Structure 1
């Protein structure tokens, strides 16, 4: 009897242990769905505001339709070192629902095994962006207060006339240079939230009031002819460093790489026969272009505006440094904003 009792008790205990170990699994499906949705919303909010996404260089937000499959993760932060500080170009691309599909948001932002529904809402001042549907009751929700970083811009106006207008007539074939020294721009001591990084944000150069730089000794001068805009690079760490011209599709207009506006009209970097300029030149060089230039932290990049008139029609000349001098590059203050994520 004692042996039978021992065997029976042992079987009973083994059965009890198995039942107890199975109970949590049986009750897992009874957890509150609202708590699960909140967890997914929280996780998605963290990814968006604390991560820059992937790839980083060139940044995911510069990918075109042909290369959209290369986007693995959509993050909006300037960098991993700047949580809650978002880059405006990333925000604009993320809320472009004509470019991204519902599956893109689920696969590259939510990362859920379940096909969740979603709503992403962004507010900054009077600016409102939204993708997704209106959330029902019982949805998961997270709200993150953020700051927005806007790209800087070099605006060369009449205040630069004494600096960049030659007193004597230069040669007929002349140039004006905007220079970017990457060793200065990518200085690790500069907070990423305020860093000028051409690898992740556009380079904006605008020459306004162009007539102020004209050669007024020629009474009939009302404009100048822009021959082309070219890119040159140099690595100062190499022996006998020198600038070399960067091969580029100068005669092809590609808004994914750059935009060049002359008096409000879009042109290529090498318009046939040159283009007359009366009032302003505006160039936006995008990170997708700088990523093609094989630049590193030691590189120096020249953007050269080449003019060709005989007799000379403009006296604009010299080198404008695209750097942290506030008179050279205007950098807007960080703007407050709010990102709301709803999942159900």
Structure 2
């Protein structure tokens, strides 16, 4: 007699197999129902960290195929789609040292929308909300994104530094120190009697970008943080005592003089081979867009209190050249109240008998770029 108590029916085995397959399938599916919530909650800190690294340690990128510019911060408002990635660092060699130009451009939320910041700084398929702020020492904070921040968010805080522009001032002491004034010679006793004076400022790109710095730099890779870069930074030169009465000849009675700025011309060389300067084109950058060098909108400002400010905005000069020099020539009209024939002039700023006044790393003549302390905070949710 056969004992079949230990045998399982085929129906039971089939049913059990189907149940196990279904159970395993459901078990693997259920966690996926909540993966969107759990992963994003855990991912907030990593996204905040990644965003801070992109902004503080990367110089940014643009589309070379569709852009005529060389840096994202100089893209006009109409060309912002050419920007591939925001980045505030001066260069890859100077992480956490931010460009003042890039900072101002990045925090211009009248141009960039929240979606621009998501696609060019935060990245990722999930529509993250964010608050990105930068607090410079002694200044009000800058921020983009949402003010209302929930309880649960990713957070990163970075200590950074911001590079600020250099500036230079020319006054009557420079006239004596550098012999910038025209003067009498043995061959022409009244050489000082001139009614038109050409005063030239030289911005030597080769020296500024490649010569040794006077300020010691601990890390040689960081010297770019202390360099004056006329391609990407604001150049600010002020001539003080603009109407200061210069020496007047004995033929003038009473002593009276009038100084006027006649015109300004720009020229440049693009190598160190000693070629003659060529005049710059009439279309140059200003405020991120092209403009014609017309009298109504020049980069030269006649200020109050006898000052003449020369302010070239970042990107004003052609950014593709890193050699040669830029020459800014001022023509001053200097006259007296003498009405004889010929009309007598007087001595004034004049480099016709001397080397042009040069923007250099000499700290006694030019205020060098400085790095200020700042804190960047990135919040993601």
**TM surpasses 0.5:** yes
Provide closer, same or farther for how the CA distance between residues 11 and 320 of structure 1 changes in structure 2, counting only shifts above 3 A. farther
The equivalent residue for 1:74 is: 86
The equivalent residue for 1:136 is: 150
Q: Work out the CA distance in 2 between the residues paired with 1:156 and 1:29.
A: 63
**TM-score, normalised relative to structure 1:** 0.80
2:275 equivalent among 235, 241, 247:
241
Q: Work out the CA distance in 1 between the residues paired with 2:71 and 2:373.
A: 23
2:329 equivalent among 304, 313, 319:
304
Matched, 1:151 2:165: yes
Q: Which secondary structure does the structure 2 equivalent of 1:306 belong to?
A: strand
Displacement, 1:201? 0.8
Q: Which secondary structure does the structure 2 equivalent of 1:288 belong to?
A: coil
2:98 equivalent among 79, 86, 94:
86
Q: Do the aligned residues in 2 keep the contact of 1:180 with 1:301 (CA within 8 Å)?
A: yes
Provide closer, same or farther for how the CA distance between residues 23 and 178 of structure 1 changes in structure 2, counting only shifts above 3 A. farther
Q: Work out the CA distance in 2 between the residues paired with 1:127 and 1:157.
A: 30
Q: Which secondary structure does the structure 2 equivalent of 1:337 belong to?
A: strand
Q: Work out the CA distance in 2 between the residues paired with 1:233 and 1:227.
A: 20
The equivalent residue for 2:199 is: 176
Q: Which secondary structure does the structure 1 equivalent of 2:131 belong to?
A: strand
Q: Do the aligned residues in 1 keep the contact of 2:200 with 2:327 (CA within 8 Å)?
A: yes
Matched, 1:289 2:321: no
**TM-score, normalised relative to structure 2:** 0.73
Provide closer, same or farther for how the CA distance between residues 32 and 66 of structure 1 changes in structure 2, counting only shifts above 3 A. closer
Task: Give the total of aligned pairs.
Answer: 321
Displacement, 1:154? 1.5
The equivalent residue for 1:263 is: 303
Provide closer, same or farther for how the CA distance between residues 158 and 34 of structure 1 changes in structure 2, counting only shifts above 3 A. farther
Cα distance per residue 1:254-288 (max 9 Å; x no partner): 5xxx6321024xxxxxxxxxxxxx71111111233
The equivalent residue for 1:49 is: 56
2:182 equivalent among 140, 162, 166:
166
Provide closer, same or farther for how the CA distance between residues 14 and 181 of structure 1 changes in structure 2, counting only shifts above 3 A. farther
Quick check: which has more Rg, 1 or 2? Answer: 2
Q: Work out the CA distance in 2 between the residues paired with 1:104 and 1:98.
A: 12
The equivalent residue for 2:237 is: 205
Cα distance per residue 1:75-130 (max 9 Å; x no partner): 11111110001112221222222222222222222223222221121111221212
Q: Which secondary structure does the structure 2 equivalent of 1:144 belong to?
A: strand
Cα distance per residue 1:14-72 (max 9 Å; x no partner): 99998998788667435343321111111111111011223496433233323333332
Provide closer, same or farther for how the CA distance between residues 188 and 99 of structure 1 changes in structure 2, counting only shifts above 3 A. farther
Provide closer, same or farther for how the CA distance between residues 165 and 13 of structure 1 changes in structure 2, counting only shifts above 3 A. farther
Gaps of 5+ in 1: 265-277
Q: Do the aligned residues in 1 keep the contact of 2:182 with 2:349 (CA within 8 Å)?
A: yes
The equivalent residue for 1:194 is: 226
Q: Which secondary structure does the structure 2 equivalent of 1:31 belong to?
A: helix
1:116 equivalent among 103, 128, 140:
128
Matched, 1:231 2:266: yes
Matched, 1:334 2:371: yes
RMSD of equivalent CA atoms: 3.3
Matched, 1:63 2:75: yes
